[in-house]
Structures are given as C-alpha cells and as structure tokens.
Structure 1
C-alpha cells in the first residue's frame, strides 16, 4: 500500500477515538468502519487492524476511514471496559449463559449512549448517512456494536462481530425484526474458553431467524483474532464499499 497512512486521536461524541485512513487530505470517505475493542484492552488495541485490512483489500485504503473508540470505563485490572463484569465471571465461575443471553448487563445502557454518540458524531462530521457506516468490534466491543446497530433510527451498512456473543435477547430479537437484510460478518473460535462457540451460534441463529444476512466463520482459535479472519473481514468490508 503506497498511500500515506494517517493516524490521529480526537474526541467524537462522548469518547476519545483513534482515526486511521490513507485518504487524500480533505477527502470524504465513502464508508466509515467503527471498531470497538474488548474488555480490559487499551483503546489502541484494534488500531493495527486498520492498516492490515487496507493491505488485504486496497479499496479500503482508497475509500474507507477507520475509527477506534476507547471504552468509557477504566477497568480494574488495566485497560478499558464498556460495562463491568463480576469478578466471579472473570474467574470462570458463575457463567450462566442462559441468564447472560437473556438479561441486559448492568452498565450497557450507558455504554450504548456513549457509542451511539460516536456514531452520530461520525455521521455529522464526515457527512455520511448511517447507511455508509459499519459497526463492529471484538468480544465486549462486538456486543456493544450489535446493541447499537439494532437501535439506531436507520440501518447501517454492516455489522462485524469478532468473538462476540448473545445478550439482551428479548430486546435484540424484537429489534432484529426491523433489520431484515442487514449484512453481518460473524467470526468465533472453536476453542474459545471465555465465550463458548455455542453462544455465538445462538446469536447467529437469532439473526438468521430475523432475516439478517449472516456470513459466519468458525476458526480453530481461542478468544483471539487470526489472519484468516482478517482476510474474510476485509472482503466483507470491501463488499460494503462497492455497494451503492
């Protein structure tokens, strides 16, 4: 990729964000991809994905801007968090996936407001409708991206969930009915010890039943991101760029 890579930090809505692109100075992107990190990661955790995805699909360097928000909460063990999780859950105890899938996690509504403010600020400052914005993220960031994507006033261009899972199911299922046809990229590890694969498959099945278009990938990996996943994600994003 021979374009000049630009990386800046700025406040968008309620959150500090890292912005990465290779667009000409002053250019308006055709698509903005907002990727949110997972629990306990620093705000910069996913930033290297921007250049990697651009290298895999040159059209992303030519027409896309990447935005990486930092979650609103300082996490007790380092990094940032979108919403807190009990210590027992983090130790691998009391992981009641039925309850987690059903209930709205404490703190999610506040995090939702913060991430929605980023989407609104991106739309306003970059003069793009929601339909030219992709939301996505890893783990807890994927949960937040899903929650926001289902609640915005208009559909977005696509949703990318990396090692995410189902939560708030009654609300999500009801709102998913209004997102028929939404393109979803979903990837998960078969050996994920934190969010088991069946929880991701349950989210996928809910989307499919609601009429969303899901591109699902399972990889031989733990709670992580692998190169094959990035290649598939880059292709998914390139397809969103080429859509009218």
Structure 2
C-alpha cells in the first residue's frame, strides 16, 4: 500500500483502484490534483489481492472481487468477495481513526471495481465520513442496501462520475446506481464526461473542487 502522509495532515482519502491495477496506478491521479500545501491530506492507496477473474478467462490479477459475467447483475460482483474487501477497507478506516483522523475527515474514493468497494463500505460504515467519490462504477448487492445502510450514511456527501462512452462499465450502470441511491432518499452530485473507461482532464478539476469542499475543518 502506498501511504502519502504529509506533515500536519488532518484529513485523509482512501483511493481504491480498478481491476488489474494497483494503488501505484492511482498515484499519478493524486499528484495531478495538486491539492494546496496549506491543506495537507494523507492519501492511502491500498492494493487489492490477486485472484482469478472469471471474465478474463480465470487469469489471476489484482481484483477486489471476481466478476463472473456482466450479463446478470448478481454476477457483476461476487458478494462474498465484496464483503471481504469492504471489511478490509473498514478496518483501514478504523486504523486511521486510531491514528487520530476523525471519521468525518476521511473520504473514500474509487474507480470502477474500487468504486464498488468504496460505495459498499461507505454506505454501511457506522460513523459519518467526509464523503464518497465513485468514478465509472456501479453498485454491488443493491438488494441488501436498504436494510444495511447506516443512519450516518444517509447524510453522506456523494459524487458519481461516469464516461458517456464507457464500454466497460456502461453509462446505464452508473445511472442505475444513481437512481437506486436516490430512491433511498440519498442525494448525490453527478457528472458525465465525453470519455470511455478512464479519467479525463476536466474530471480532475471536478474531483479537486469536490474534495476541497469535503475536506474542511
């Protein structure tokens, strides 16, 4: 795990990468945000474990969970793997709190698979967090969310971002997540970009603005 811990940091962001990537793969994004030095932020970029991924012919790669198929929503994310990964990230939040970072100063952010784990974790975390940032992603186990969402998560600042031409996680999957969250009474900021399954330059400016809004004392 990459841990960028500047002196004086009181806020933290946990960044969760996509399938086949690593924490190091998101490090350039963090650098590109050029957050102000006078507001130091700790950035943690953990690595998913290596596991066989069914849709990639069973090849082993870093993945927060197995994807059996995109045809059936239940097969997009193996729920037992999702819960294992979410428990790991919850423990990481707990460790940050033990290190002196208040939960309300911690943001969870993720791209693609990482966004699935970020949303699953944040919406079920008992303490209020600073925010949830989801990029090019969807919801796992949405049928359980109404019963498992915590009172703290109902006021969670949420931002979803998606590419209009995404051919890996279709825009409709992002919209489906948005609609399901709104049906539960949650409000979220939504952005679409003329891009595929990636992160574009205009998006970086929106991420920076949103983060600075959430990471305040």
> What range is the shorter-chain TM-score in?
0.7 to 0.9
Q: How many positions carry a matched residue from both structures?
A: 211
Work out the CA distance in 1 between the residues paired with 2:92 and 2:150.
24
Q: CA deviation at 1:206?
A: 1.9
Matches within 5 A, 1:86-105: 86=68, 89=69, 95-97=71-73, 99-100=74-75, 105=79
Structure 1, unmatched stretches of 5+, are 1-16
Work out the CA distance in 1 between the residues paired with 2:138 and 2:63.
16
For the aligned residue pairs, the C-alpha RMSD in angstroms reads: 2.1
Matches within 5 A, 1:59-138: 62-74=39-51, 77=59, 79-86=61-68, 89=69, 95-97=71-73, 99-100=74-75, 105-125=79-99, 127-138=100-111
CA-to-aligned-CA distance 1:99-121 (integer Å, 9 cap, x gap)? 357x8634112112222221111
The structure number with the bigger radius of gyration is 1
Structure 2, unmatched stretches of 5+, are 53-57
3-state secondary structure, aligned to 2:128: coil
Work out the CA distance in 1 between the residues paired with 2:122 and 2:43.
17
Q: CA deviation at 1:43?
A: 3.0
Q: CA deviation at 1:39?
A: 0.8
TM-score computed with the length of structure 2 as normaliser: 0.88
Work out the CA distance in 1 between the residues paired with 2:104 and 2:17.
22
Work out the CA distance in 1 between the residues paired with 2:71 and 2:80.
15
Would you say the 8 A contact 1:160–1:186 is kept in 2? yes
